[in-house]
Chains A and B, each alone.
Chain A
Amino acid sequence: MSWGTLYTQLGGVNKHSTSLGKIWLSVLFIFRVTILVLAAESVWGDEQSDFTCNTQQPGCKNVCYDHFFPVSHIRLWCLQLIFVSTPALLVAMHVAYRKRGEKKDIIASQGERSKTNDLESLKKKRLHITGPLWWTYTCSLFFRLVFEAGFMYALYYVYNGFQMPRLVKCEQWPCPNKVDCFISRPTEKTVFTIFMVASSATCMVLNVAELVYLIIKALMRCSAKSPPA
């Protein structure tokens, strides 16, 4: 999974974000992607090979593993990070669209003599979050929140909480009666799960704060524009 490419994409949008948005991006990459990469191979690497059931019955182990782990934590977190990063592309598309419009205006007004300096400075210009861009940005924040909450709930629902048990009792066919199955490294997995959930919650708080900040800024701008009594 090339997290570097994702970072390059998101870093481009970062220019037009608020300060809270920039902090959100740092938290996302340093605490979540880094920890995910750190934990993924080493802690969850042997989750299926070291899942042991107290039986010689062929197929029982596979069936029990599949019953208790429909989707691995690692895959859920990767999906969560991808979905949560995607709304930023809405903002990137809107900015590109606006810049294209401005570029057309420059070329139309100056024609053949449109200076490369003007076009270059347009490329590097930082757009303020006002007007339709404010709505796009707010929508992207809202979607981020929805995806974060959705994935946290999905993790909680699939694994009945955030703690990994040591032992699960399985009675799927072809296991004879009820068998004990043992999960590998449950404590380490619990620690990393709690860490990722806490980072996710921090990101949600940052998103809510950014939303409130944008709304307040927009209200202040409206009241500044409205004519004095």
Chain B
Amino acid sequence: MNWASFYTVVSGVNRHSTGIGRIWLSVIFIFRILVLVVAAESVWGDEKSQFTCNTQQPGCNSVCYDQFFPISHIRLWALQLILVSTPALLVAMHVAHRRHIDQKILKLSGRGGAKDLEQVKTQKFKITGGLWWTYMISIIFRIIFEVAFLYIFYLIYPGFKMVRLVKCDSYPCPNTVDCFVSRPTEKTIFTVFMLAVSGVCVLLNIAEVLYLVGKACARSCQDSNPEPRGAWISNKFLYKVNEPNQIKSLFQG
């Protein structure tokens, strides 16, 4: 699993994030992806081979392992990281769309020199108008995915603690057999760590939502005073796709 290229894709969106968004990305990469790769994979590496049941009955081991570990912690965390990072692509797509519109307008207005187009490519967009909504939706989806995975974790492994011994009586195990989990304490420590960092990420996302809402309110309070209504509306919906009007205003203004 090539987390390095994954990180490159996700951090490309970083330029248009808020400060809290950048902190969130660092937390994701340093505390979650790095820890997952460096530590967790070696701790969970022998989870099946070292899962031992007190029986010679062929198949009992496999069946008991499957019953108590329907999906491994490692796969759950990797899926969680992938799904949680994906909403950032919504923002990347919106930014690409806005750049495309800007470039079209520049070309139509006759100012489409290579320099100007390059400037549009590297321009940093402010989180206003339509982009604000896209960004908010992406953060809300992030929160939903994080919480959903925390809940799934709780459903599958209630208590977050890894036990040393499980008692299994599925077919073909004769009666009830004792099965022993490998490295339970180390697994508990990493589970608690990953869940705590997940909680911190949820808090960062909630803080980012509040920050954006606060900023938008402050902006609309400022705007509501001196300017005429028409200019306020055009400011709010500056990047809505309404090209003919936009080009018209460009030529008239």
Contacts and interface: CB of A to CB of B under 8 A. Distances in A.
Does A pair with B?
yes
Interface of A: 4, 22-23, 26, 30-31, 34-35, 37-39, 42-43, 46, 50, 52-55, 166-167, 180-188, 191-192
Interface residues of B, number: 28
Interface in B64-106: 65-66, 69-72, 74-75, 78-79, 82, 86, 89, 93
Interface in B1-35: 1-2, 5-6
A188 B71 contact: yes
Contact of B59 (A35, A181, A187): A181
A35 B66 contact: no
B158 interface: no
B127 interface: no
A191 B248 CA distance: 54
A54 B172 contact: yes
- Interface of chain A, helix or strand or loop or mixed? helix
Given A35-B82, A54-B59, A181-B59, A187 B1 contact: no
B48 A37 contact: no
B58 to A, nearest CB: 4
B82 A167 contact: no
B193 interface: no
Nearest to B59: A182
B48 A185 contact: yes
Interface of B: 1-2, 5-6, 48-49, 57-59, 61-63, 65-66, 69-72, 74-75, 78-79, 82, 86, 89, 93, 171-172
Given A23-B93, A34-B1, A37-B2, 10 more contacts: A34-B82, A37-B1, A39-B75, A46-B48, A54-B57, A184-B48, A186-B66, A187-B66, A187-B71, A188-B66
B58 A52 contact: yes
A50 B61 CA distance: 10
A42 B74 contact: yes
Contacts of B89: 26, 30
Contacts of B75: 38-39, 42-43, 188, 192
A148 B74 CA distance: 29
A191 B63 contact: no
Contact of A188 (B5, B72, B78, B171): B72
B58 A167 contact: no
Nearest to B86: A30
Most A CB contacts (10 A, CB to CB) among B5, B49, B59 go to B59
Given A4-B5, A38-B78, A183 B71 contact: no
A114 B132 CA distance: 46
Which has the most chain B C-beta neighbours within 10 Å: A4, A54, A185?
A185
B160 to A, nearest CB: 20
Contacts of A23: 93
Contacts of A166: 62-63, 66
Contact of B1 (A22, A38, A50): A38
Contacts of A55: 58
Nearest to A29: B9
